[in-house]
Chain A
Amino acid sequence: MDSTHALKVDALTMRFGGLVAVEDFSLEMGATDLVGLIGPNGAGKTTIFNMITGMYVPSQGHVYLGKQEITGVRPANITQQGMARTFQNIRLFKDLTVLDNIRLAGHFRQKYGILSSIFHSPNFRAAEKELKKEALELLKIFKLEDKYMHLAKNLPYGEQRRLEIARALATKPKVLLLDEPAAGMNPNETKELTELIRWVRDHFQIAILLIEHDMSLVMDVCERIYVVDHGVEIAQGTPSEIQKNSKVIEAYLGTANEEGDKQ
Protein backbone atom coordinates (compact mmCIF):
# COMPACT_ATOMS: atom_id res chain seq x y z
CA MET A 1 0.00 0.00 0.00
CA ASP A 2 1.04 3.53 -0.73
CA SER A 3 2.09 5.24 2.45
CA THR A 4 1.68 8.77 1.07
CA HIS A 5 -2.09 8.67 0.89
CA ALA A 6 -4.01 11.87 1.65
CA LEU A 7 -7.13 10.00 2.64
CA LYS A 8 -7.55 6.36 3.48
CA VAL A 9 -10.83 4.69 4.30
CA ASP A 10 -10.57 1.23 5.71
CA ALA A 11 -13.54 -1.15 5.71
CA LEU A 12 -16.20 1.35 6.79
CA THR A 13 -19.55 -0.04 7.81
CA MET A 14 -22.60 1.94 8.86
CA ARG A 15 -25.65 0.37 10.39
CA PHE A 16 -28.82 2.26 11.25
CA GLY A 17 -30.55 -0.22 13.52
CA GLY A 18 -31.06 -3.29 11.37
CA LEU A 19 -30.39 -1.48 8.12
CA VAL A 20 -26.88 -1.77 6.71
CA ALA A 21 -26.42 1.45 4.78
CA VAL A 22 -22.77 0.93 3.90
CA GLU A 23 -20.78 -2.26 4.25
CA ASP A 24 -17.05 -2.74 4.19
CA PHE A 25 -16.21 0.25 2.05
CA SER A 26 -12.53 1.01 1.46
CA LEU A 27 -10.89 3.80 -0.48
CA GLU A 28 -7.47 5.33 -0.84
CA MET A 29 -6.43 8.59 -2.46
CA GLY A 30 -3.04 10.16 -3.12
CA ALA A 31 -2.22 13.79 -2.38
CA THR A 32 -3.52 15.18 -5.68
CA ASP A 33 -5.95 12.52 -6.83
CA LEU A 34 -9.30 13.36 -8.32
CA VAL A 35 -11.61 10.52 -7.43
CA GLY A 36 -15.30 10.05 -8.10
CA LEU A 37 -17.86 8.14 -6.06
CA ILE A 38 -20.95 7.15 -8.00
CA GLY A 39 -23.91 4.90 -7.59
CA PRO A 40 -27.68 4.87 -8.00
CA ASN A 41 -29.89 6.86 -5.64
CA GLY A 42 -29.83 5.53 -2.11
CA ALA A 43 -26.64 3.58 -2.68
CA GLY A 44 -25.00 5.08 0.41
CA LYS A 45 -22.72 7.68 -1.15
CA THR A 46 -23.68 10.53 1.14
CA THR A 47 -23.54 8.19 4.13
CA ILE A 48 -19.92 7.44 3.18
CA PHE A 49 -19.25 11.18 3.01
CA ASN A 50 -20.86 11.72 6.37
CA MET A 51 -18.72 9.02 7.94
CA ILE A 52 -15.53 10.41 6.43
CA THR A 53 -16.30 13.97 7.59
CA GLY A 54 -17.32 12.88 11.07
CA MET A 55 -21.04 13.70 10.81
CA TYR A 56 -21.74 10.02 11.50
CA VAL A 57 -19.62 7.78 13.66
CA PRO A 58 -19.09 4.59 11.62
CA SER A 59 -20.26 1.32 13.13
CA GLN A 60 -17.01 -0.28 12.03
CA GLY A 61 -13.86 0.65 10.17
CA HIS A 62 -11.33 3.44 10.19
CA VAL A 63 -10.70 6.73 8.43
CA TYR A 64 -7.23 8.22 8.14
CA LEU A 65 -6.42 11.74 7.02
CA GLY A 66 -2.76 11.53 6.10
CA LYS A 67 -1.30 9.49 8.92
CA GLN A 68 -3.81 10.72 11.46
CA GLU A 69 -6.76 8.55 12.37
CA ILE A 70 -9.94 10.63 12.37
CA THR A 71 -12.58 7.98 13.04
CA GLY A 72 -15.18 9.33 15.45
CA VAL A 73 -13.56 12.76 15.72
CA ARG A 74 -15.91 15.78 15.77
CA PRO A 75 -16.57 17.28 12.31
CA ALA A 76 -15.09 20.63 13.37
CA ASN A 77 -11.83 18.99 14.42
CA ILE A 78 -11.64 17.00 11.20
CA THR A 79 -12.01 20.23 9.23
CA GLN A 80 -9.27 21.80 11.34
CA GLN A 81 -7.00 18.89 10.47
CA GLY A 82 -7.43 19.51 6.76
CA MET A 83 -10.61 18.13 5.29
CA ALA A 84 -13.40 20.28 3.88
CA ARG A 85 -16.71 19.46 2.30
CA THR A 86 -19.65 20.92 0.45
CA PHE A 87 -23.23 19.75 0.78
CA GLN A 88 -25.69 18.17 -1.60
CA ASN A 89 -28.29 20.77 -0.71
CA ILE A 90 -26.26 23.96 -0.52
CA ARG A 91 -25.63 24.97 3.08
CA LEU A 92 -24.35 28.51 2.96
CA PHE A 93 -24.82 30.99 5.80
CA LYS A 94 -27.70 32.52 3.86
CA ASP A 95 -28.24 35.73 5.77
CA LEU A 96 -24.54 36.58 5.93
CA THR A 97 -22.51 38.30 3.25
CA VAL A 98 -20.36 36.42 0.76
CA LEU A 99 -17.32 37.83 2.54
CA ASP A 100 -18.51 36.63 5.95
CA ASN A 101 -19.14 33.17 4.55
CA ILE A 102 -15.51 32.97 3.50
CA ARG A 103 -14.20 34.62 6.66
CA LEU A 104 -16.00 32.08 8.81
CA ALA A 105 -14.01 29.33 7.17
CA GLY A 106 -10.87 31.06 8.43
CA HIS A 107 -12.25 31.24 11.96
CA PHE A 108 -10.38 28.35 13.50
CA ARG A 109 -7.04 29.75 12.39
CA GLN A 110 -7.63 33.06 14.19
CA LYS A 111 -5.42 33.45 17.21
CA TYR A 112 -6.70 36.61 18.86
CA GLY A 113 -8.84 36.21 21.97
CA ILE A 114 -12.30 37.43 22.83
CA LEU A 115 -10.98 40.40 24.78
CA SER A 116 -9.04 41.55 21.71
CA SER A 117 -12.26 41.73 19.77
CA ILE A 118 -14.12 43.50 22.59
CA PHE A 119 -11.46 46.21 22.76
CA HIS A 120 -10.61 46.17 19.03
CA SER A 121 -6.96 45.78 19.94
CA PRO A 122 -4.18 46.27 17.34
CA ASN A 123 -3.94 42.50 17.34
CA PHE A 124 -7.57 42.25 16.29
CA ARG A 125 -7.25 44.93 13.61
CA ALA A 126 -4.23 43.28 12.02
CA ALA A 127 -5.78 39.81 12.06
CA GLU A 128 -9.11 41.01 10.66
CA LYS A 129 -7.38 42.98 7.92
CA GLU A 130 -5.36 39.95 6.92
CA LEU A 131 -8.42 37.71 7.03
CA LYS A 132 -10.38 40.08 4.80
CA LYS A 133 -7.50 40.33 2.35
CA GLU A 134 -7.18 36.56 2.09
CA ALA A 135 -10.93 36.18 1.67
CA LEU A 136 -11.06 38.74 -1.13
CA GLU A 137 -8.17 37.06 -2.93
CA LEU A 138 -10.00 33.76 -2.81
CA LEU A 139 -13.23 35.39 -3.99
CA LYS A 140 -11.33 36.89 -6.91
CA ILE A 141 -10.27 33.41 -8.02
CA PHE A 142 -13.90 32.36 -7.98
CA LYS A 143 -15.03 35.55 -9.75
CA LEU A 144 -17.18 36.60 -6.81
CA GLU A 145 -15.16 39.56 -5.57
CA ASP A 146 -17.63 42.12 -6.93
CA LYS A 147 -20.38 40.55 -4.90
CA TYR A 148 -18.55 40.25 -1.60
CA MET A 149 -21.09 42.41 0.23
CA HIS A 150 -24.12 40.59 -1.18
CA LEU A 151 -26.05 38.28 1.06
CA ALA A 152 -25.33 34.69 0.13
CA LYS A 153 -29.02 33.93 -0.36
CA ASN A 154 -29.27 36.59 -3.08
CA LEU A 155 -26.68 34.96 -5.35
CA PRO A 156 -27.82 32.98 -8.37
CA TYR A 157 -27.74 29.23 -7.95
CA GLY A 158 -24.52 28.60 -9.85
CA GLU A 159 -22.69 31.25 -7.85
CA GLN A 160 -23.97 29.78 -4.60
CA ARG A 161 -22.40 26.49 -5.63
CA ARG A 162 -19.14 28.26 -6.46
CA LEU A 163 -19.23 30.13 -3.16
CA GLU A 164 -19.68 26.90 -1.28
CA ILE A 165 -16.60 25.43 -2.94
CA ALA A 166 -14.69 28.64 -2.25
CA ARG A 167 -15.75 28.53 1.38
CA ALA A 168 -14.59 24.93 1.70
CA LEU A 169 -11.23 25.90 0.20
CA ALA A 170 -10.92 28.79 2.64
CA THR A 171 -10.39 26.26 5.41
CA LYS A 172 -7.17 25.37 3.53
CA PRO A 173 -7.89 21.66 3.23
CA LYS A 174 -5.66 18.86 2.03
CA VAL A 175 -8.68 16.84 0.98
CA LEU A 176 -11.85 18.34 -0.47
CA LEU A 177 -15.12 16.43 -0.60
CA LEU A 178 -17.77 17.64 -3.04
CA ASP A 179 -21.27 16.25 -2.63
CA GLU A 180 -23.04 16.53 -5.99
CA PRO A 181 -21.52 19.84 -7.03
CA ALA A 182 -23.35 19.85 -10.38
CA ALA A 183 -26.81 19.13 -8.97
CA GLY A 184 -29.32 21.47 -10.56
CA MET A 185 -26.88 22.95 -13.05
CA ASN A 186 -27.49 23.26 -16.77
CA PRO A 187 -25.00 21.65 -19.22
CA ASN A 188 -23.13 24.92 -19.68
CA GLU A 189 -22.69 25.48 -15.96
CA THR A 190 -21.65 21.86 -15.54
CA LYS A 191 -18.98 22.32 -18.17
CA GLU A 192 -17.64 25.38 -16.35
CA LEU A 193 -17.71 23.46 -13.11
CA THR A 194 -15.71 20.64 -14.67
CA GLU A 195 -12.99 23.10 -15.60
CA LEU A 196 -13.16 24.68 -12.17
CA ILE A 197 -12.76 21.40 -10.31
CA ARG A 198 -9.76 20.40 -12.37
CA TRP A 199 -8.26 23.86 -11.98
CA VAL A 200 -8.80 23.84 -8.20
CA ARG A 201 -6.95 20.54 -7.92
CA ASP A 202 -4.00 21.80 -9.97
CA HIS A 203 -3.86 25.21 -8.36
CA PHE A 204 -4.26 24.19 -4.72
CA GLN A 205 -2.60 20.79 -5.10
CA ILE A 206 -5.21 18.96 -3.09
CA ALA A 207 -7.03 15.68 -3.32
CA ILE A 208 -10.67 15.86 -4.37
CA LEU A 209 -13.32 13.23 -3.82
CA LEU A 210 -16.65 13.91 -5.45
CA ILE A 211 -20.09 12.38 -5.51
CA GLU A 212 -21.92 13.08 -8.73
CA HIS A 213 -24.85 11.94 -10.77
CA ASP A 214 -23.85 13.83 -13.88
CA MET A 215 -21.89 11.19 -15.77
CA SER A 216 -20.42 13.66 -18.25
CA LEU A 217 -18.74 15.45 -15.37
CA VAL A 218 -17.57 12.34 -13.60
CA MET A 219 -16.20 10.65 -16.70
CA ASP A 220 -14.51 13.85 -17.79
CA VAL A 221 -12.86 14.95 -14.58
CA CYS A 222 -12.20 11.90 -12.43
CA GLU A 223 -9.07 9.82 -12.73
CA ARG A 224 -10.48 6.97 -10.73
CA ILE A 225 -14.04 6.03 -9.91
CA TYR A 226 -15.59 3.95 -7.17
CA VAL A 227 -19.07 2.60 -7.77
CA VAL A 228 -21.32 1.65 -4.88
CA ASP A 229 -24.72 0.02 -4.95
CA HIS A 230 -26.79 -0.99 -1.93
CA GLY A 231 -23.94 0.13 0.31
CA VAL A 232 -21.38 -2.18 -1.25
CA GLU A 233 -18.58 -1.33 -3.63
CA ILE A 234 -19.29 -3.05 -6.93
CA ALA A 235 -16.48 -1.67 -9.07
CA GLN A 236 -13.51 0.67 -9.18
CA GLY A 237 -11.23 1.81 -11.93
CA THR A 238 -10.64 4.44 -14.58
CA PRO A 239 -13.63 6.05 -16.29
CA SER A 240 -13.28 3.88 -19.39
CA GLU A 241 -13.09 0.70 -17.31
CA ILE A 242 -16.18 1.72 -15.38
CA GLN A 243 -18.11 2.46 -18.55
CA LYS A 244 -17.52 -1.09 -19.77
CA ASN A 245 -18.09 -2.78 -16.42
CA SER A 246 -21.10 -5.04 -16.65
CA LYS A 247 -21.91 -4.83 -12.93
CA VAL A 248 -22.10 -1.04 -13.17
CA ILE A 249 -24.36 -1.13 -16.17
CA GLU A 250 -26.52 -3.62 -14.34
CA ALA A 251 -26.74 -1.44 -11.24
CA TYR A 252 -27.80 1.57 -13.25
CA LEU A 253 -30.00 0.02 -15.90
CA GLY A 254 -31.05 -3.31 -14.40
CA THR A 255 -30.70 -6.59 -16.27
CA ALA A 256 -32.70 -7.99 -19.12
CA ASN A 257 -33.15 -11.25 -17.21
CA GLU A 258 -34.93 -9.60 -14.34
CA GLU A 259 -37.80 -8.63 -16.59
CA GLY A 260 -37.75 -12.01 -18.25
CA ASP A 261 -37.89 -13.89 -14.96
CA LYS A 262 -41.06 -12.21 -13.93
CA GLN A 263 -42.92 -13.18 -17.01
Chain B
Amino acid sequence: MQIFDYLTPLAMNIGVFIILAVSLNLINGMCGQFSLGHAGFWAVGAYTGAAYSVYFAPTALPDFINLFIACGIGFSCAALSGVIIGVPCLRLRGDYLAIATLGFGEIIRIVIMNMDVVGGPRGFTNIPHWSNIFWIYLWVLITIVFVANLLSGTHGRAIISIREDEIAAEAMGINTFKYKTLAFVIGAGFAGVAGALFAHAQQFLHPNGFTFMWSVIILLMIILGGLGSITGSVIGAVVLTILPELLRFMGETVSQWRMVIYSVLLILLMLLRPAGIFGKRELNILKLLGLKRESYHG
Protein backbone atom coordinates (compact mmCIF):
# COMPACT_ATOMS: atom_id res chain seq x y z
CA MET B 1 0.00 0.00 0.00
CA GLN B 2 1.50 3.23 -1.13
CA ILE B 3 -0.40 5.31 1.44
CA PHE B 4 1.59 3.65 4.23
CA ASP B 5 4.86 4.83 2.71
CA TYR B 6 3.52 8.28 3.38
CA LEU B 7 1.74 7.69 6.68
CA THR B 8 4.42 5.66 8.49
CA PRO B 9 7.13 8.34 8.49
CA LEU B 10 4.49 10.88 9.44
CA ALA B 11 3.38 8.75 12.40
CA MET B 12 7.02 8.32 13.42
CA ASN B 13 7.54 12.07 13.27
CA ILE B 14 4.48 12.61 15.41
CA GLY B 15 5.91 10.21 18.02
CA VAL B 16 9.23 12.06 18.07
CA PHE B 17 7.48 15.38 18.54
CA ILE B 18 5.27 14.00 21.31
CA ILE B 19 8.43 13.07 23.24
CA LEU B 20 9.90 16.51 22.57
CA ALA B 21 6.73 18.32 23.60
CA VAL B 22 6.18 16.29 26.78
CA SER B 23 9.80 16.77 27.83
CA LEU B 24 9.75 20.51 27.13
CA ASN B 25 6.48 20.76 29.04
CA LEU B 26 8.23 19.39 32.12
CA ILE B 27 10.64 22.35 31.95
CA ASN B 28 8.34 25.13 30.72
CA GLY B 29 4.90 24.05 31.83
CA MET B 30 5.51 22.19 35.08
CA CYS B 31 8.59 23.88 36.48
CA GLY B 32 7.84 27.26 34.88
CA GLN B 33 11.36 27.75 33.54
CA PHE B 34 11.21 29.34 30.11
CA SER B 35 13.64 27.31 28.01
CA LEU B 36 14.13 27.96 24.30
CA GLY B 37 16.99 25.54 23.74
CA HIS B 38 15.13 22.30 23.24
CA ALA B 39 16.26 21.81 19.66
CA GLY B 40 19.83 21.87 20.99
CA PHE B 41 19.22 18.90 23.29
CA TRP B 42 17.36 17.18 20.49
CA ALA B 43 20.44 17.63 18.29
CA VAL B 44 22.79 16.33 21.00
CA GLY B 45 20.69 13.18 21.32
CA ALA B 46 20.39 12.72 17.57
CA TYR B 47 24.10 13.11 16.85
CA THR B 48 25.43 11.11 19.79
CA GLY B 49 22.89 8.31 19.22
CA ALA B 50 23.74 8.24 15.52
CA ALA B 51 27.48 8.37 16.20
CA TYR B 52 27.12 5.27 18.36
CA SER B 53 25.28 3.38 15.61
CA VAL B 54 27.65 4.44 12.84
CA TYR B 55 30.97 4.03 14.64
CA PHE B 56 30.61 1.81 17.68
CA ALA B 57 27.52 -0.42 17.50
CA PRO B 58 28.61 -4.09 17.53
CA THR B 59 26.96 -5.90 14.62
CA ALA B 60 26.64 -8.99 16.81
CA LEU B 61 23.87 -7.35 18.80
CA PRO B 62 20.34 -7.31 17.40
CA ASP B 63 19.30 -3.96 15.91
CA PHE B 64 16.71 -3.17 18.52
CA ILE B 65 19.22 -3.55 21.35
CA ASN B 66 21.59 -1.27 19.51
CA LEU B 67 18.76 1.21 19.07
CA PHE B 68 18.02 0.99 22.77
CA ILE B 69 21.68 1.67 23.59
CA ALA B 70 21.69 4.58 21.13
CA CYS B 71 18.63 6.02 22.91
CA GLY B 72 20.35 5.56 26.26
CA ILE B 73 23.43 7.35 24.97
CA GLY B 74 21.25 10.09 23.51
CA PHE B 75 19.53 10.47 26.87
CA SER B 76 22.75 10.57 28.87
CA CYS B 77 24.58 13.00 26.59
CA ALA B 78 21.60 15.35 26.31
CA ALA B 79 21.05 15.16 30.08
CA LEU B 80 24.72 15.89 30.65
CA SER B 81 24.55 18.92 28.37
CA GLY B 82 21.41 19.84 30.32
CA VAL B 83 23.49 19.88 33.50
CA ILE B 84 26.25 21.92 31.88
CA ILE B 85 23.79 24.47 30.50
CA GLY B 86 21.27 24.33 33.34
CA VAL B 87 23.55 24.94 36.31
CA PRO B 88 24.67 28.40 35.19
CA CYS B 89 21.49 29.36 33.31
CA LEU B 90 18.89 28.36 35.90
CA ARG B 91 20.12 31.13 38.17
CA LEU B 92 18.47 33.46 35.67
CA ARG B 93 14.76 34.11 35.58
CA GLY B 94 12.13 34.56 32.91
CA ASP B 95 13.26 36.28 29.75
CA TYR B 96 16.92 36.10 30.68
CA LEU B 97 16.73 32.32 31.00
CA ALA B 98 14.96 32.13 27.63
CA ILE B 99 17.71 34.16 25.95
CA ALA B 100 20.51 32.17 27.58
CA THR B 101 19.02 28.79 26.62
CA LEU B 102 18.35 30.08 23.10
CA GLY B 103 22.02 30.99 22.86
CA PHE B 104 23.17 27.62 24.12
CA GLY B 105 20.87 25.82 21.69
CA GLU B 106 22.49 27.68 18.82
CA ILE B 107 25.98 27.04 20.23
CA ILE B 108 25.30 23.31 20.20
CA ARG B 109 24.23 23.52 16.56
CA ILE B 110 27.31 25.52 15.54
CA VAL B 111 29.61 23.12 17.39
CA ILE B 112 28.09 20.19 15.51
CA MET B 113 28.40 22.12 12.27
CA ASN B 114 32.16 22.27 12.88
CA MET B 115 32.64 18.63 13.87
CA ASP B 116 33.95 16.78 10.87
CA VAL B 117 33.57 13.37 12.47
CA VAL B 118 29.76 13.68 12.29
CA GLY B 119 29.81 15.18 8.82
CA GLY B 120 29.82 18.84 9.80
CA PRO B 121 28.02 20.98 7.22
CA ARG B 122 27.82 18.02 4.83
CA GLY B 123 25.41 16.25 7.15
CA PHE B 124 25.65 12.92 8.91
CA THR B 125 24.86 10.06 6.53
CA ASN B 126 24.58 6.26 6.59
CA ILE B 127 22.68 6.06 9.86
CA PRO B 128 21.02 2.64 10.05
CA HIS B 129 17.24 2.58 9.76
CA TRP B 130 16.43 0.97 13.11
CA SER B 131 13.53 3.09 14.32
CA ASN B 132 10.04 1.94 13.60
CA ILE B 133 6.58 2.77 14.82
CA PHE B 134 6.78 0.24 17.64
CA TRP B 135 10.02 1.45 19.21
CA ILE B 136 9.14 5.09 18.82
CA TYR B 137 5.76 4.70 20.48
CA LEU B 138 7.25 2.52 23.19
CA TRP B 139 9.48 5.48 24.04
CA VAL B 140 6.50 7.82 23.82
CA LEU B 141 4.82 5.64 26.42
CA ILE B 142 7.95 5.50 28.59
CA THR B 143 8.27 9.29 28.46
CA ILE B 144 4.64 9.94 29.36
CA VAL B 145 4.58 7.40 32.19
CA PHE B 146 7.90 8.67 33.50
CA VAL B 147 6.81 12.30 33.55
CA ALA B 148 3.30 11.58 34.85
CA ASN B 149 4.56 9.35 37.65
CA LEU B 150 7.31 11.77 38.55
CA LEU B 151 4.69 14.49 38.91
CA SER B 152 2.48 12.35 41.13
CA GLY B 153 5.22 12.10 43.75
CA THR B 154 6.79 14.53 46.14
CA HIS B 155 9.60 15.44 43.73
CA GLY B 156 7.10 16.32 41.04
CA ARG B 157 5.08 18.42 43.44
CA ALA B 158 8.28 20.25 44.34
CA ILE B 159 8.86 20.95 40.63
CA ILE B 160 5.31 22.29 40.22
CA SER B 161 5.59 24.43 43.36
CA ILE B 162 8.44 26.35 41.70
CA ARG B 163 6.11 27.32 38.87
CA GLU B 164 3.45 28.37 41.36
CA ASP B 165 5.63 30.50 43.62
CA GLU B 166 9.37 30.13 43.84
CA ILE B 167 9.75 32.20 47.01
CA ALA B 168 7.05 30.29 48.84
CA ALA B 169 8.57 27.00 47.67
CA GLU B 170 11.92 28.01 49.09
CA ALA B 171 10.21 29.04 52.35
CA MET B 172 8.64 25.58 52.53
CA GLY B 173 12.06 23.97 52.67
CA ILE B 174 12.22 23.02 48.99
CA ASN B 175 15.64 23.36 47.42
CA THR B 176 14.37 25.18 44.34
CA PHE B 177 17.65 25.19 42.46
CA LYS B 178 17.96 21.41 42.79
CA TYR B 179 14.46 20.81 41.43
CA LYS B 180 14.80 23.32 38.62
CA THR B 181 17.96 21.52 37.55
CA LEU B 182 16.24 18.14 37.91
CA ALA B 183 13.34 19.17 35.65
CA PHE B 184 15.74 20.71 33.16
CA VAL B 185 17.97 17.63 33.03
CA ILE B 186 15.14 15.12 32.70
CA GLY B 187 13.53 17.28 30.00
CA ALA B 188 16.83 17.52 28.13
CA GLY B 189 17.38 13.77 28.49
CA PHE B 190 14.09 12.84 26.87
CA ALA B 191 14.71 15.36 24.09
CA GLY B 192 17.91 13.38 23.54
CA VAL B 193 15.93 10.13 23.25
CA ALA B 194 13.67 11.83 20.70
CA GLY B 195 16.81 12.82 18.83
CA ALA B 196 18.24 9.30 18.76
CA LEU B 197 14.92 7.87 17.53
CA PHE B 198 14.65 10.63 14.94
CA ALA B 199 18.18 9.96 13.66
CA HIS B 200 17.43 6.29 13.13
CA ALA B 201 14.19 7.10 11.34
CA GLN B 202 15.56 9.79 9.01
CA GLN B 203 18.97 8.12 8.42
CA PHE B 204 20.36 11.53 7.68
CA LEU B 205 21.05 14.47 9.99
CA HIS B 206 21.99 18.02 9.18
CA PRO B 207 22.80 20.72 11.78
CA ASN B 208 20.39 23.08 10.04
CA GLY B 209 17.61 20.68 10.89
CA PHE B 210 17.97 21.73 14.53
CA THR B 211 17.70 25.49 14.30
CA PHE B 212 16.13 27.79 16.85
CA MET B 213 12.94 27.65 14.76
CA TRP B 214 12.37 24.09 15.94
CA SER B 215 12.63 25.12 19.59
CA VAL B 216 9.91 27.63 18.85
CA ILE B 217 7.72 25.06 17.13
CA ILE B 218 8.03 22.65 20.07
CA LEU B 219 7.17 25.56 22.35
CA LEU B 220 4.15 26.29 20.14
CA MET B 221 3.01 22.70 20.59
CA ILE B 222 2.95 22.92 24.36
CA ILE B 223 1.39 26.38 24.40
CA LEU B 224 -1.31 25.19 22.00
CA GLY B 225 -2.00 22.10 24.10
CA GLY B 226 -1.74 23.89 27.42
CA LEU B 227 1.33 24.65 29.50
CA GLY B 228 1.37 22.19 32.36
CA SER B 229 -0.73 19.47 30.74
CA ILE B 230 0.83 16.26 29.43
CA THR B 231 -2.33 15.48 27.47
CA GLY B 232 -2.14 18.95 25.97
CA SER B 233 1.47 18.41 24.87
CA VAL B 234 0.50 15.21 23.09
CA ILE B 235 -2.41 16.90 21.31
CA GLY B 236 -0.29 19.93 20.48
CA ALA B 237 2.44 17.74 18.99
CA VAL B 238 -0.07 15.79 16.90
CA VAL B 239 -1.85 18.90 15.62
CA LEU B 240 1.27 20.85 14.72
CA THR B 241 2.90 17.87 12.99
CA ILE B 242 -0.18 17.05 10.91
CA LEU B 243 -1.10 20.65 10.10
CA PRO B 244 1.78 21.31 7.65
CA GLU B 245 0.89 18.06 5.89
CA LEU B 246 -2.73 19.11 5.51
CA LEU B 247 -1.59 22.47 4.20
CA ARG B 248 0.59 20.64 1.69
CA PHE B 249 -2.53 19.05 0.20
CA MET B 250 -4.04 22.47 -0.28
CA GLY B 251 -1.38 23.33 -2.78
CA GLU B 252 1.89 25.17 -2.97
CA THR B 253 0.56 28.65 -2.28
CA VAL B 254 -1.21 27.64 0.93
CA SER B 255 1.74 25.71 2.31
CA GLN B 256 4.02 28.68 1.70
CA TRP B 257 1.82 30.55 4.16
CA ARG B 258 2.48 27.96 6.86
CA MET B 259 4.16 30.29 9.33
CA VAL B 260 1.48 32.94 8.78
CA ILE B 261 -1.19 30.36 9.49
CA TYR B 262 0.69 29.35 12.67
CA SER B 263 0.73 32.95 13.78
CA VAL B 264 -2.97 33.43 13.13
CA LEU B 265 -3.66 30.18 14.97
CA LEU B 266 -1.64 31.41 17.93
CA ILE B 267 -3.37 34.79 18.00
CA LEU B 268 -6.74 33.06 17.90
CA LEU B 269 -5.63 30.76 20.71
CA MET B 270 -4.51 33.67 22.86
CA LEU B 271 -7.85 35.37 22.33
CA LEU B 272 -10.11 32.37 22.76
CA ARG B 273 -8.25 30.00 25.08
CA PRO B 274 -5.25 31.74 26.66
CA ALA B 275 -4.39 28.70 28.76
CA GLY B 276 -4.20 26.38 25.73
CA ILE B 277 -6.58 23.61 24.68
CA PHE B 278 -6.26 21.65 27.91
CA GLY B 279 -5.04 24.32 30.30
CA LYS B 280 -3.47 22.44 33.18
CA ARG B 281 -6.01 19.62 33.06
CA GLU B 282 -5.20 16.04 32.16
CA LEU B 283 -7.15 13.33 30.43
CA ASN B 284 -6.62 10.30 32.57
CA ILE B 285 -6.83 7.21 30.38
CA LEU B 286 -6.58 4.81 33.32
CA LYS B 287 -9.46 6.59 35.04
CA LEU B 288 -11.52 6.52 31.86
CA LEU B 289 -11.03 2.79 31.56
CA GLY B 290 -11.75 2.32 35.26
CA LEU B 291 -8.32 0.82 35.84
CA LYS B 292 -7.01 3.29 38.35
CA ARG B 293 -7.10 1.81 41.80
CA GLU B 294 -5.87 4.51 44.04
CA SER B 295 -5.41 8.18 43.48
CA TYR B 296 -2.47 9.96 45.00
CA HIS B 297 -3.79 13.27 43.83
CA GLY B 298 -6.24 13.12 46.67
By a beta-carbon cutoff of 8 Å, the part of chain A in contact with chain B is 53, 55, 74-77, 79-80, 84-85, 87, 91-97, 99-100, 103-108, 110, 112, 114, 116-120, 124-125, 127-128, 131-132, 148-149, 167, 171
Contacts and interface: CB of A to CB of B under 8 A. Distances in A.
A193 B266 CA distance: 47
Nearest to A153: B164
A171 B155 contact: no
Contacts of A97: 297-298
Contacts of A127: 154
B231 interface: no
A117 B161 contact: no
B96 interface: no
A94 B164 contact: yes
B131 interface: no
B85 interface: no
9 contacts: A55-B171, A75-B171, A79-B173, A91-B165, A93-B168, A103-B157, A106-B154, A107-B174, A118-B145
A106 B167 CA distance: 16
B171 A112 contact: no
Most buried by A among B158, B164, B176, B280: B164
A91 B150 contact: no
Contacts of B172: 76, 79, 84, 104-105, 107-108, 167, 171
B291 to A, nearest CB: 14
A149 B298 contact: yes
Given A93-B161, A149-B298, A131 B174 contact: no
A188 to B, nearest CB: 27
Contacts of B149: 117-120
Contacts of B158: 104, 107
Nearest 9 A-B pairs (CB), nearest first? Answer: A117-B153, A79-B173, A93-B164, A91-B168, A108-B173, A110-B154, A75-B170, A80-B173, A99-B298
B156 interface: yes
A91 to B, nearest CB: 4
Contacts of A75: 170-171
A112 B234 CA distance: 29
A94 B32 CA distance: 14
B51 to A, nearest CB: 28
A53 B171 contact: yes
A128 B296 contact: yes
Given A93-B164, A96-B164, A116-B153, 9 more contacts: A77-B173, A92-B168, A97-B298, A104-B172, A114-B150, A118-B153, A149-B298, A167-B172, A171-B172
B169 interface: yes
B160 interface: yes
Contact of B171 (A84, A106, A110): A84
B298 A104 contact: no
Interface residues of B, number: 31
A148 B171 CA distance: 21
B174 A76 contact: yes
A76 B150 contact: no
B146 interface: yes
A119 B153 CA distance: 10
Nearest to B294: A125
B157 A100 contact: yes
Contacts of A107: 154, 157-158, 161, 172-174
Given A85-B171, A97-B298, A104 B153 contact: no
B256 interface: no
B152 interface: yes
B243 to A, nearest CB: 29
A171 B173 contact: yes
A252 B102 CA distance: 53
A104 B170 contact: no
Contacts of B161: 93, 96, 104, 107
Interface string B56-87: 00000000000000000000000000000000
B8 interface: no
B263 interface: no
Nearest to A120: B149
Most buried by B among A103, A106, A107, A128: A107
B126 interface: no
A76 B161 CA distance: 13
B175 interface: yes
A91 B172 CA distance: 11
Interface in B257-295: 280, 294
Given A91-B167, A92-B168, A117-B149, A112 B154 contact: yes
B171 A79 contact: yes
Contacts of B145: 118
B173 A124 contact: no
